Amino acid sequence: MANSLQSEQLAGGGPVGQFGAIVIGAGVSGLYQLHRLRQLGLSVRCLEDGRGVGGTWYWNRYPGCRFDSESETYGYSFSKELLQEWDWKEHYSGQPENERYLNYVADKFDLRRDIQFDSRVTSAVYDARANRWEVQLESGQRMRTQFLVAAVGILSARYIPPFEGIDSFKGASYHTSRWPKEEIDLTGKRVAVIGTGATAVQLIPIIAKKVGHLTVFQRTPNYCAPLRNSLVDAETQRRFKATYPEIHKKCRETPAAFIHEFDPRCALEVSPEERLALYEELWARPGFSKWLANFRDIMTDRAANEDFAEFVRNKIRARVKDPVVAEKLVPKDHPFGSKRVPLETEYYEAYNRDNVLLVDVRETPIERITSKGIKTSDREYEFDVIIYATGFDAITGALTRIDIRGEGGQTLKDKWANGLRTYLGLQTAGFPNFFIATNSAFCNYTVCAEMLVEWISECIRYIREQGYSRIAPTPQAEEAWVAHAAEMASQTLLSDAKSWFVGANIPGKARTLLLYANTAPAYRAKCAEVATRGYEGFVLQ
């Protein structure tokens, strides 16, 4: 019976809940996955580490956290009713509103009754004889399921560098992705921020205005571009609601599933004056237009990329008063867009404030955390608060931190020790009925997440209707996909920086491009084609 929790007593253990499907994570992907699997009549349990829904938008509560995607493209597209009911207040909606939205979705589709909160999954072990996954929580609770879907997010396994003395600090420390619910009063405090990625770039200008003094420890400067957020007026709201089919159609057609479309010309084909005119126009526009509406070879041609990179460098120089500080903020060691482009609001102006200091840790590396603050090779800085904006063990981290064991006891961690190995990003050989519902294509998150969730749901429906009980990719199909993904990666500049895109931010992590570097339409077409051909490349039993 759908949604009923049956229990059985297993030898040597407590009661074990039996489910048709278990979804790990109640974020953007997990909520929709739960909804779709329930529609198949399966008994589904969604296990969520947090105390509420939202995933990324539940955990990342730091001041300034917001979308870089246009709000109207980030919301789910699957329900016309939901689209008409929800009003986006800002063009790039902030975390509190995004969390409210996902709570609204959970309530509207009555999802909460199948979500178990405060439930951290520690292991998932495949029992080949029974064709069941046994899932264990930190609490010791165990459950069994035929289908296991990991909707764990691509940026959820937080990373804190193993600085010596990290526990000796007597003040307060926070990682941006585990920001407390209750407001932290930073007024007048001496605050450190370590990191200058997309998160820090959102956070810094907001807290700079509150703190007594802010010291930013930067290892690599980024090419940050203006977000240009604004309120959604009533007329625009009406337009969104009237044109959602067109908005979604456009997102399904563009390479990265945004409303932005690349300029069909190559950068160096046009005159310097024409190039500059486009750059200035893009700069004045909101969102990722500077990246995704640029000349079409911006991410494939080094010279084209460098031309725009220099434009951005000069924009940075023009905004920072002290030329020495400005030069430290100017990226020179990687192509534009080879790291995620942070979108900012008054980020560079923060460094013009008297109470903000930039420390370049390439010049003076952090040696240790002390009881009072941070010791670099140069001096000791004293703080009341240290904020780690040091990112995530992206894409694979949230999966390999769970002890996932497939056929023959093989762990996912071992299998992926030399890099990510999947077929279509959806399954991995040797782990039957285990699906990955987190979008790792280079794609506006929700757009591709919806596609993956629908693909997985349709696949499970097919398996059940056709009288099969399990599915896993063949090693050959997986090998071919890994080779194809590497070939796609080699055609872009996305692998050219030491970023989370390639696992370079985590010491010891294998270097492979973790994002699928083909266009989102091509990815969707490939997944659809595989399904149409009776799940080509998979073994169904």
Q: Which residues contact 281 (CB under 8 A, 6 or more apart)?
A: none
Question: For the window 128-157, what string marks contact with ligand NA7 as x by the rule CB under 6 A?
Answer: ---------------------------x--
Closest among 132, 126, 111 to 52, alpha carbons compared? 111
Q: Which of residues 72-101 bind ligand NA7 (CB under 6 A)?
A: none
Residue 69 interacting with ligand NA7 (CB under 6 A): no
Residue 171 interacting with ligand NA7 (CB under 6 A): no
183: its two tokens: 């407001």
In whole angstroms, how far apart are CA 278 and each of 212, 252, 291?
Answer: 41, 25, 12
CA atoms within 13 A on the CB side of 296: 10
Residue 207 interacting with ligand NA7 (CB under 6 A): no
User: Which C-beta is closer to ligand NA7: that of 83 or that of 194?
Assistant: 194
CA separation for the pair 63, 95 (Å, rounded):
9
- Write down the least CB distance from residue 310 to ligand NA7, Å: 20
The single-letter DSSP state of residue 183 is: P
* Burial label, 81 (beta-carbon count in 10 A; 0-12, 13-18, 19+): exposed
Residue 198 interacting with ligand NA7 (CB under 6 A): yes
User: Is 119 within 8 Å of 48 (Cβ atoms)?
Assistant: yes
- Write down the least CB distance from residue 373 to ligand NA7, Å: 15
User: Is 228 within 8 Å of 67 (Cβ atoms)?
Assistant: no
308: its two tokens: 């725009």
User: Which C-beta is closer to ligand NA7: that of 103 or that of 390?
Assistant: 390
Q: Which of residues 474-513 bind ligand NA7 (CB under 6 A)?
A: 498, 500, 505
Q: Which of 194, 204, 211, 395 binds ligand NA7 (CB under 6 A)?
A: 194
User: Which C-beta is closer to ligand NA7: that of 359 or that of 460?
Assistant: 359
Q: Which residues contact 169 (CB under 8 A, 6 or more apart)?
A: 369, 370, 371, 372, 373, 383, 386
- Write down the least CB distance from residue 17 to ligand NA7, Å: 34
Residue 195 interacting with ligand NA7 (CB under 6 A): yes
Q: Which residues contact 348 (CB under 8 A, 6 or more apart)?
A: 224, 316, 319, 320, 329
Q: Interface with ligand NA7 by CB under 6 A: which range of 23-31, 212-220, 324-332, 415-423?
A: 212-220
User: Which C-beta is closer to ligand NA7: that of 35 or that of 340?
Assistant: 340
Interface size with ligand NA7, residues (CB under 6 A)? 22
Q: Interface with ligand NA7 by CB under 6 A: which range of 97-105, 189-197, 311-319, 522-530?
A: 189-197
With tokens 């782990």, the residue in question is 431
Residue 161 interacting with ligand NA7 (CB under 6 A): yes
Instruction: Return the residue nearest ligand NA7 (CB atom).
Output: 197
User: Is 389 within 8 Å of 193 (Cβ atoms)?
Assistant: yes
CA separation for the pair 224, 337 (Å, rounded):
10
User: Which C-beta is closer to ligand NA7: that of 439 or that of 505?
Assistant: 505
CA separation for the pair 265, 68 (Å, rounded):
25
Question: For the window 314-353, what string marks contact with ligand NA7 as x by the rule CB under 6 A?
Answer: --------------------------x-------------
User: Is 420 within 8 Å of 512 (Cβ atoms)?
Assistant: yes
- Write down the least CB distance from residue 504 to ligand NA7, Å: 7
Question: For the window 240-279, what string marks contact with ligand NA7 as x by the rule CB under 6 A?
Answer: ----------------------------------------
Residue 298 interacting with ligand NA7 (CB under 6 A): no
User: Can you give the length of the chain in residues?
Assistant: 541
- Write down the least CB distance from residue 301 to ligand NA7, Å: 23
User: Is 193 within 8 Å of 175 (Cβ atoms)?
Assistant: no
User: Which C-beta is closer to ligand NA7: that of 65 or that of 83?
Assistant: 65
The residue ranges of DSSP E strands in 201-288, in sequence order, are 213-218, 225-226
Question: For the window 361-400, what string marks contact with ligand NA7 as x by the rule CB under 6 A?
Answer: x----x----------------------xxxx--------
User: Which C-beta is closer to ligand NA7: that of 65 or that of 259?
Assistant: 65
User: Which C-beta is closer to ligand NA7: that of 82 or that of 166?
Assistant: 166
Q: Which residues contact 396 (CB under 8 A, 6 or more apart)?
A: 416, 420, 503, 509, 514
Q: Which of 196, 396, 438, 512 binds ligand NA7 (CB under 6 A)?
A: 196
Q: Which of 108, 209, 219, 464 binds ligand NA7 (CB under 6 A)?
A: 219
User: Which C-beta is closer to ligand NA7: that of 305 or that of 499?
Assistant: 499
User: Which C-beta is closer to ligand NA7: that of 366 or that of 456?
Assistant: 366
Q: Interface with ligand NA7 by CB under 6 A: which range of 11-19, 216-224, 297-305, 320-328?
A: 216-224
Q: At what angle do helices 520-532 and 234-253 cross, to 10 degrees?
A: 60
- Per the rule left: phi > 0, alpha: psi between -120 and 50, beta: everything else, 195 is left
CA separation for the pair 8, 460 (Å, rounded):
25
User: Which C-beta is closer to ligand NA7: that of 478 or that of 496?
Assistant: 496
User: Which C-beta is closer to ligand NA7: that of 388 or that of 431?
Assistant: 388
Q: Interface with ligand NA7 by CB under 6 A: which range of 194-202, 266-274, 451-459, 527-535?
A: 194-202
The residue ranges of DSSP E strands in 199-342, in sequence order, are 213-218, 225-226
Closest among 56, 45, 50 to 23, alpha carbons compared? 45
Q: Interface with ligand NA7 by CB under 6 A: which residues?
A: 155, 161, 194-200, 217, 219-220, 340, 361, 366, 389-392, 498, 500, 505
